[in-house]
Structure 1
């Protein structure tokens, strides 16, 4: 669905800046969904949060099918972002409290790889469906089918909250003393302090590594927006755009486990630096290619470069968040961490839309490259201080 959202928007009459704004509703929804999702997980647990998120995603899909205006399309995309926040927060808290540190990065990279598998397969399925049916709406029907299967699997499958022991004490656990025994059950992710108070208490690390992580999140989000928009601005059809994004996703997916191996064996910095450097330089280079004769060739080549960079960043934000979270109270910090990183992801598409409207898509692309290089500098400066070699 991601590479086709700008196409849906343009078919409803949006220009390129407006299409970018509609696409940004996905990450804005993720940002706005962190706090209510945390409350929901605390109340009903990870499993049923995923069920309700799946049902809500189906409502969003129906809204996209029926969308006859940009307002309804934007609202539906926003709702999908809320559902993504619910899934993401439940998974992150679950893994942080149950995965041993010695292979944490590899496990979280595998988690990121599961998402990348969908990003890899999805555009190719979209291209095939469009070729067979002649309409982009067939991809929405596919989304509805996948989500329905997901809800059934989560409801009928084994409940991991009851079968996998907790290694860390859950947030807000009401115990008089630490018996040393494992705890089963859902992981509350919202305590009495709340996300915003936690943001203040951990403001030093969040203003340094957190802002660097927000830069990485912004660049990832920018990649999802810029690559389809760049294809639209070059006059490519939906099938071609989906294929280019799919090839980039294939490269991205192929490298997801390598990221975890590098982080666990050599340190976090050896994965995050190459990732941000490649994406930063890739965006800067792409910004100079729009009006040259070989623009389409450069589009495909640099999409591959960005795929390599994003693949090397698999699991990085999850791993840094888990590393920095306090052992006895990880969930509230993770809510703050995800709020900050999601803010970076939400701000990037809005900034791209505004810069494109005021100047050009090329300038917006180049500035995203600069953001990536700034993030790389931040990680290089602060990682040795806050993620020492003993945990890195």
Structure 2
């Protein structure tokens, strides 16, 4: 029987680099808007520049699958790290808002390529019985780094100024890329040994039913999870809670998020993906619906903890589902399309909050995002058993990794 001991070889090659990468992103993220303002950008323009990181990730999802399939995980990581270093360096040296915006797009683009290469690597080397734990640990280490990054960045900013956050991010990108680039590409399954020239449009057509059903659940989960980063500060400002207190609430929520992350992976491996995905979205949805009733710091803190629980429970769900349903012959290309669904939700969720708040009271906008989360839970409940059934057919644990994709017996895809 597989035990957690088997994940130890991944500590220095995947998990530690993920934490270092997260530290860099955590250090750089808070200073983008501040540097944009220092360079003369208005508040709305500064907000757009921050959003360009997410847009870059969406744009990066489009070619990432072909890049990984063509060059392999190792070279994709080297290329992604190089592009990311250029983007961060451009941000570090930015002389006007346009240069900073270009750096933000390049950084997001490289993150998409780097992330897909890591996910594809884990999908290849980790047995299906431990897949959720591996994906959850990978995501956990990134979140841990992102949690630590702002504190480390703050210390450097005090010493060297606002651009110090980007200096930490540059070191994180280069160091994490160098660590993971030491690992050779994994041997391919026999089903994936023949080179393919599958394009993203072909993947979208071939898997249109899966992507329009389960993929919709992935999109809605991305929108719900990203929206919390916009909703909580907006509501705090609405009820008069100051920025410092909001930062503390975010820290508390992030800590709870981390505590829930690894148990979520263990429970997914033991009881299936739906066992975690649906409660995660339900908890987030309930938190959003309750948020308009928060009238002071204590009740807002309780909502922040609830959001942290919901987000932590969903740690690794999207990556695990993608690895479950990805066909080995076109794994990287499919994972690019799969990541596109979630990243699109991550990008559009906060924008939807702003758009709703512009036409209806903020409380109604928050409840609307809660309904989006509930819709995502319903979609996941309906379609996870169709594409990632649990318990899985016995043949898939051993034979599938040599001969057939894990989902081959259960997911007839339309052609």
Q: TM-score, normalised by structure 2?
A: 0.78
Q: Which moved more, 1:226-235 or 1:256-265?
A: 226-235
Find out whether 1:14 has 2:42 as its counterpart.
yes
C-alpha spacing 1:18/1:275, structure 2 compared with 1 (3 Å): farther
Q: Residue 48 of structure 1: CA displacement?
A: 2.6
Query: 1:170 and 1:69 mapped to 2: Cα distance?
Result: 50
Q: 1:141 aligns with which of 140, 146, 167?
A: 167
Query: 1:243 and 1:377 mapped to 2: Cα distance?
Result: 33
Find out whether 1:37 has 2:64 as its counterpart.
yes
Q: Residue 49 of structure 1: CA displacement?
A: 2.1
Query: 1:135 and 1:362 mapped to 2: Cα distance?
Result: 38
Name 1:334's counterpart in structure 2.
Answer: 335
Q: 1:153 aligns with which of 154, 171, 179?
A: 179
Q: Residue 216 of structure 1: CA displacement?
A: 0.7
Structure 1 residues without counterparts, runs of 5 or longer: 175-190
C-alpha spacing 1:106/1:150, structure 2 compared with 1 (3 Å): closer
Query: 2:173 and 2:117 mapped to 1: Cα distance?
Result: 17
Q: Is the 8 A contact 1:255 1:308 kept in 2?
A: yes
Name 1:265's counterpart in structure 2.
Answer: 270
Name 1:183's counterpart in structure 2.
Answer: none
C-alpha spacing 1:329/1:37, structure 2 compared with 1 (3 Å): closer
Name 1:99's counterpart in structure 2.
Answer: 126
Query: 1:315 and 1:215 mapped to 2: Cα distance?
Result: 15
Q: Is the 8 A contact 2:272 2:391 kept in 1?
A: no
Q: Is the 8 A contact 2:66 2:333 kept in 1?
A: no
Q: Is the 8 A contact 1:109 1:256 kept in 2?
A: yes
Find out whether 1:351 has 2:359 as its counterpart.
no
Query: 1:72 and 1:348 mapped to 2: Cα distance?
Result: 26
Q: Residue 383 of structure 1: CA displacement?
A: 1.9
Q: Residue 246 of structure 1: CA displacement?
A: 3.0
Find out whether 1:253 has 2:258 as its counterpart.
yes
CA deviations 1:256-286 (Å, max 9, x no partner) are: 1111111111121111122111111222322
C-alpha spacing 1:205/1:254, structure 2 compared with 1 (3 Å): same
Name 1:310's counterpart in structure 2.
Answer: 311
C-alpha spacing 1:227/1:171, structure 2 compared with 1 (3 Å): farther
Q: Is the 8 A contact 1:117 1:253 kept in 2?
A: yes
DSSP 3-state at the match of 2:327: coil
Structure 2 residues without counterparts, runs of 5 or longer: 1-27, 394-415
Query: 1:90 and 1:251 mapped to 2: Cα distance?
Result: 28
Query: 1:66 and 1:360 mapped to 2: Cα distance?
Result: 40
Q: Is the 8 A contact 1:228 1:245 kept in 2?
A: no
Q: Is the 8 A contact 1:219 1:371 kept in 2?
A: yes
Q: Is the 8 A contact 1:214 1:343 kept in 2?
A: yes
Q: 1:122 aligns with which of 149, 154, 158?
A: 149
Query: 2:234 and 2:156 mapped to 1: Cα distance?
Result: 21
Q: Please, what is the CA RMSD of the aligned residues? A: 2.8
Name 2:112's counterpart in structure 1.
Answer: 85
Q: TM-score, normalised by structure 1?
A: 0.82
Q: Is the 8 A contact 1:97 1:169 kept in 2?
A: no
Name 1:110's counterpart in structure 2.
Answer: 137
Q: Is the 8 A contact 1:31 1:343 kept in 2?
A: yes
Q: How many residues align?
A: 364
Find out whether 1:76 has 2:103 as its counterpart.
yes
Q: 1:169 aligns with which of 182, 190, 193?
A: 190
C-alpha spacing 1:125/1:278, structure 2 compared with 1 (3 Å): farther
Name 1:367's counterpart in structure 2.
Answer: 368
Query: 2:37 and 2:363 mapped to 1: Cα distance?
Result: 19
Query: 2:360 and 2:94 mapped to 1: Cα distance?
Result: 30
Find out whether 1:58 has 2:63 as its counterpart.
no
C-alpha spacing 1:198/1:52, structure 2 compared with 1 (3 Å): closer
Q: Is the 8 A contact 1:171 1:331 kept in 2?
A: no
C-alpha spacing 1:198/1:43, structure 2 compared with 1 (3 Å): closer
Q: Residue 134 of structure 1: CA displacement?
A: 8.4
Query: 1:266 and 1:284 mapped to 2: Cα distance?
Result: 28
CA deviations 1:264-311 (Å, max 9, x no partner) are: 11121111122111111222322454xx4x2x4444332222111111
Q: Residue 88 of structure 1: CA displacement?
A: 1.2
Name 1:2's counterpart in structure 2.
Answer: 29
C-alpha spacing 1:230/1:52, structure 2 compared with 1 (3 Å): farther
